[in-house]
Amino acid sequence: MKQSLIKLAWKPLTWLYSLVTSVRNLLYDTGLLRSFTAKQFTVVVGNLTVGGTGKTPMIEYLIRSFAREFQLVTLSRGYGRETRGFRQASSQSTAREVGDEPLQYYEKFGKNCHVAVCEDRVKGAQILAQQWPKHNLLLLDDAFQHRRLKADLYLLLNDFNRPFYEDEPFPGGRLRESRQGAGRADAVICTKCPADLSPGKRIEIETAVGRYIRSGTPCFFSSIRYASIRRFDEHIVQPGGLFVLTGIAQPEPLLHYLQENYLVNGIKLFPDHHLFTESDVLTVLKSVKNEELIVTTEKDLVKLRPLTQNLNLMHRFGYIAMEVDFGSDTGRFQEWLTLHVRTPMLTRS
């Protein structure tokens, strides 16, 4: 009852926010606001819902899919960083300089693609094209609402646990724009699905999504595949007990997996993109038994590993990696990528 009253109170502001974003989209759609096209073939991975829909593992999936065929660059805004403007990730970069997710991309794939951040995606794409003119595939992380740059392909992520078609725009809900924004998508990927998703549920989701997308736009289904737990020194371990420490937007799927498969004795959650300090590490350590491993995510790893190294505590910390798994949709999605990315790329070159 209380929640319903709160939503009702926010309704006028929700309508106003939806109107403003809809007018903005209309101005871009009609050309009254100008969009720019990057020199690179550009793929956007984004969402309508704020935070935690699985953009980072999806970008990594695309890097793995294309790194052997094309020369890649990735461009993000760099949420959580303490800098402004264009920054290219390097071996000396920190999360405070480029953001945690871009640093994660660099540490995992820096040999296969260049990683950069810039809040102005048009400017960032131009600088990348000048510095790396032969790198002809640009992956834009979280740029579905960045209308100034017109991409070649838009992938819209829809969280199985928080579908956009059941949500509302700010402040009454968590949508960045109205549901009709899904109409710009070239494909919708339903993320974080149960591995045993039933055919009936797939049809139900496709029907709900279909009310907001263009006719013929495909809907794909993916789940999360977790790897073995590794200590910060990269040794695979089978811990007897865990203490979970993380700062991500939607930790529930991770917590569910760990609690289902390991003995979780404690949990400490920080806000998304939290920039950990040595004080955080030492405070958490006081709550953990000596035999317990403090487990986090790859996104948190890039911020915590330098701290634990300085404190000589790397043996007390571990992380669990995750990947996108398209399951039975793998072949269909790869065929779609061939038709909409590989073929146009080869035609351009």
Could you check whether 36-222+326-348 and 226-323 share the same CATH topology? yes
Establish whether 46 is an annotated binding residue. Answer: no
- Report angle CA 48, 53, 58 to the nearest 5 degrees: 110
Q: What is the mean pLDDT of residues 251-275?
A: 96
Q: Which fold has domain 36-222+326-348?
A: Rossmann fold (3.40.50)
Closest C-alpha to 46, from 165, 182, 219, 217: 182
| Helical ranges in the chain per DSSP H | 2-29, 55-66, 95-98, 100-109, 121-131, 199-210, 252-261, 278-285, 298-310, 330-337, 343-348
Instruction: State yes or no: pLDDT of 325 exceeds 60.
Output: yes
Q: Output the CATH code of domain 226-323.
A: 3.40.50
Establish whether 56 is an annotated binding residue. Answer: yes
Q: What is the mean pLDDT of residues 247-252?
A: 94
Establish whether 11 is an annotated binding residue. Answer: no
pLDDT of residue 266: 95
Which residues sit opposite 73 in a β-bridge? Answer: 114, 138
Radius of gyration of the chain (CA): 21
Instruction: State yes or no: pLDDT of 299 exceeds 90.
Output: yes
Contacts of 136 (CB under 8 A, 6+ apart): 39, 40, 41, 70, 71, 345, 348, 349
Return the structure tokens found at 289.
Answer: 């038994």
pLDDT digits over 167-189, tens only? 999 999 999 999 999 999 999 99
Which pairing describes strands 87-88 and 72-76: parallel, antiparallel, or unpaired?
unpaired
Q: What is the mean pLDDT of residues 333-344?
A: 97
Establish whether 50 is an annotated binding residue. Answer: yes
Q: Which residues of 173-211 are buried (b: 16+ CB within 10 A; e: fewer)?
A: bbbbbbbebbebbbbbbbbbbeeebeeeebeebeeebee
Establish whether 31 is an annotated binding residue. Answer: no
Q: What is the mean pLDDT of residues 16-24?
A: 94
Domain ranges in the chain are 36-222+326-348, 226-323
Establish whether 181 is an annotated binding residue. Answer: no
Crossing angle for the helix pair 278-285 and 298-310, nearest 10 degrees?
A: 90
DSSP 8-class letter at 169: B
Crossing angle for the helix pair 100-109 and 55-66, nearest 10 degrees?
A: 20
Instruction: State yes or no: pLDDT of 3 exceeds 60.
Output: no
pLDDT of residue 31: 95
The CA-atom distances, in angstroms, between 216 and each of 124, 221, 328 are 32, 16, 20
Q: What is the mean pLDDT of residues 95-100?
A: 96
Return the structure tokens found at 269.
Answer: 């959650």
Establish whether 240 is an annotated binding residue. Answer: no
In whole angstroms, give the CA distance from residue 14 to residue 148.
Answer: 24
| Helical ranges in 160-228 per DSSP H | 199-210
The CA-atom distances, in angstroms, between 31 and each of 23, 126, 182, 318 are 12, 21, 19, 50
Establish whether 266 is an annotated binding residue. Answer: no
pLDDT of residue 251: 94
